[in-house]
Amino acid sequence: MSTRLANYGRLINRAKAVNFTFNGKVFNGFEGDTLAASLLANDQMLIGRSFKYHRPRGVVASGGEEPNALINLGVEGHFEPNARATTTETFNGLTAESQNHFPSLEFDIGAINSKLARFLPAGFYYKMFIHPRSFWKHIYEPIIRKSAGLGKAPKSRDADKYEHYYHFCEVMIVGGGIAGLQAAKSAAATGVRVLLVEQTAHWGGRAPVDGVVIDGMPAQDWITVTLADLSVRDNVVIRNRTQGSGVYDHGYALAYERIADHTPGDGRPRHRLWRVRCKQIVTATGGIERPLSFAGNDIPGVMLAAAVRDYVLNYGVSPGDRTVVVTNNDDAYRTALTLKQAGLEVPVILDARAEGGGDLMGEAIAAGIRVELGRGIAQVLGGKRVTGLQICSQAGEGAVLEEIGCDVVAMSGGWSPVVHLWSHCGGKLNWDADQAMFRPDPNQPPLGADGAGFVRVAGLANGHLRSAAIVADASAQGFAAAKAAGGTTKRVVLAKAEDFEELPLSPVWLMPQGASYKLRSKAWLDFQNDVKVTDVQLAAQEGFESVEH
């Protein structure tokens, strides 16, 4: 079961407990929790139902990439549908409800759709709802409109206050991880005006959780020193809880600040829209971990490996007592080591790579964790929560080699740069086959009115996965942006980060690679829209060209 740990929780204040309700039931948490962390701490694994098949769904991620934990937040004039539990800060008196079910979350009659899945394949709507034509207006459309969408539309007038603000600077930096902080430091040293925004309440991104060391200091100490340096500079403005939400022509950008979401009723505006005019933009937006596709990968308790260690270290929450880690890269070994150090059981690490990993794998073996190479998951067992899984050979077709009991599966399929803002205004991408990711093409950036590029990308968002490369790239991009915006040629001393030796990932698009139709039809690619591996394969077979179909 998921529970609160006695130790860990670097972001929470255990001295200040808060109470909130979920589906009418009172739960408790701590100041600094996200709603997802608070729910997991109370063993609330089932958070909602999926869009199409109404399958049980739980928390998968720990940030803005969360596809499942969408909830109705607040009541009446403060009601908001489709709020992410992973980004909503828990506060005293918070009211939340699950959505997309009837009559209840635990018993949803819409789950009958799962039994009809074979009759609702990709392209079904385009073929079915055109005949007879008279049925569309009177039968098909009313039914589809009633069932479409997630959450409820607000019925009361919005009772909160909002404001907008104009800001002018030479360089805007989006993202407050170690890349964003280093880029801001490099840009600020040239004398230009710098705006640094971070969407979460905390600075530093994943670095403190991942044990990064910079300039001989633990990442958190380096972050504290760097923030202190930036805070006293007259030419730097920093804002957390502020999301860079759009990049447009002529150096125009939007940022969305959540001022009082976590302190309702204190008299402040709830949100503030920043309208920013700048000469150069640096996006240091990091990356998101990719899930793996195997049968049952949507059952509550199957989570991203990085998210599992986030909940342990940031919030002092154990998603489960026994966690199996499945991966195609070295990073997931950090999760296994974190769980082991927290006193939790890791029965096995399943590494799809036949050759295994680097230093981190050696540490895991030394810690007494069993590692199986060239192995994958045939199927996860359970319904409303994980109860176990079946191990198979990744190179095979899913023949079961062993069955293991567990209550959490921590999966990692590698990392993808967050390139949305780069692409928003026309930036192009290249496919990096070695790292199995799309990354920004520096030769085709978003162009300004003068025909020159005005957006740069730094750190992991630029495809750099190692801390040393992230910091070096951020320093270079911050300086280049400032120089292009009219700054001096003064450079700061380059920060140096330390890394473990890691071996390359092995791209895994399906587990196992020769999975039968029965297994593929239970392997999910798009959790939010209920798209399975078989749906994408059928869409390609039917001639669909774009994934959004």
Could you tell me how far CA 401 lies from the centroid of its own chain? 32
CB contact at 8 A, 445 and 453: yes
The model's confidence at residue 400, banded by pLDDT at 50, 70 and 90, is very high
Helices (H) and strands (E) in the chain, counts: 14, 35
Q: What is the 3-state secondary structure (H, E, C) of 376-426?
A: EEEEEEECCCEEEEEEEECCCCCCCCEEEECCEEEEECCEEECCHHHHHCC
What percent of the chain has a predicted confidence (pLDDT) above 70?
98
542 vs 357: CA distance, rounded Å: 39
Taking each helix axis from N to C end, the angle separating 305-315 and 332-341, rounded to the nearest 10 degrees, works out to 40
The token duo for 151 is 């959450």
Supply the DSSP symbol for 39: H
| 191, 208, 226, 455 from 491: Cα distances, Å | 11, 26, 15, 20
Q: Structural domains in the chain?
A: 162-288+416-484 (3.50.50.60), 291-414+504-541 (3.50.50.60)
pLDDT band at 312 (very low <50, low <70, confident <90, very high): very high
Q: Label residue 123 by pLDDT band (50, 70, 90).
A: low
What mean pLDDT do residues 429-442 have? 95
pLDDT tier at 110 (50, 70, 90 boundaries)?
Answer: confident
pLDDT band at 116; cut points 50, 70, 90: confident
- CA angle 397/403/406 to nearest 5° reads 120
Over residues 87-113, the mean pLDDT reads 91
Give the pLDDT mean for 85-92.
96
Helices (H), 455-522: 467-484, 517-520
Provide the 8-state DSSP code for 214.
Answer: E
Strands (E), 278-374: 280-283, 287-289, 302-304, 317-318, 323-327, 349-351, 371-373
CA dist 421 and 105 (Å) reads 36
Mean pLDDT of the chain: 93
pLDDT, average across residues 398-404: 96
Strand 48-49 to 371-373 pairing: unpaired
Q: For residue 367, is pLDDT > 60?
A: yes
Tell me the average pLDDT across 62-70: 95
Tens-digit pLDDT profile for residues 184-229: 999 999 999 999 999 999 999 999 999 999 999 999 999 999 999 9
Instruction: Provide the token pair at 480.
Output: 């280049």
pLDDT at 549 over 60: no
**Range scoring the smallest mean pLDDT among 93-102, 236-245, 488-497, 531-540:** 488-497
Distance CA 445, CA 462 (A): 12
Please tell me the predicted confidence (pLDDT) of residue 138: 77
Copy the structure tokens of residue 354.
């036949």
CA atoms within 13 A on the CB side of 105: 20
Query: What mean pLDDT comes out for the span 510-532?
Result: 93
Cα torsion angle, 99, 102, 107, 110, sign: negative
317 pLDDT tier (thresholds 50, 70, 90): very high
User: pLDDT value at position 428?
Assistant: 96
Q: What is the pLDDT of residues 8-65, one digit of tens each?
A: 999 999 999 999 999 999 999 999 999 999 999 999 999 999 988 899 999 999 999 9
Q: What is the DSSP letter of 261?
A: T
Residue 143 has pLDDT above 80, yes or no: no
CA distance 361 to 372: 11
What's residue 547's pLDDT? 63
Helix (H) or strand (E) holding 230: helix 219-231
Alpha-carbon radius of gyration of the chain:
24
Phi, psi (degrees; rounded to nearest 5) at 231 = -65, -30
Cα–Cα distance measured from residue 133 to residue 137, given in angstroms and rounded to the nearest whole number: 8
In the predicted structure, residue 543 carries a pLDDT above the cut 60:
yes
CA distances from 210 to 62, 157, 182 (A): 14, 44, 18
- At residue 548, does pLDDT exceed 60? no
pLDDT tens digits, one per residue of 331-349: 999 999 999 999 999 999 9
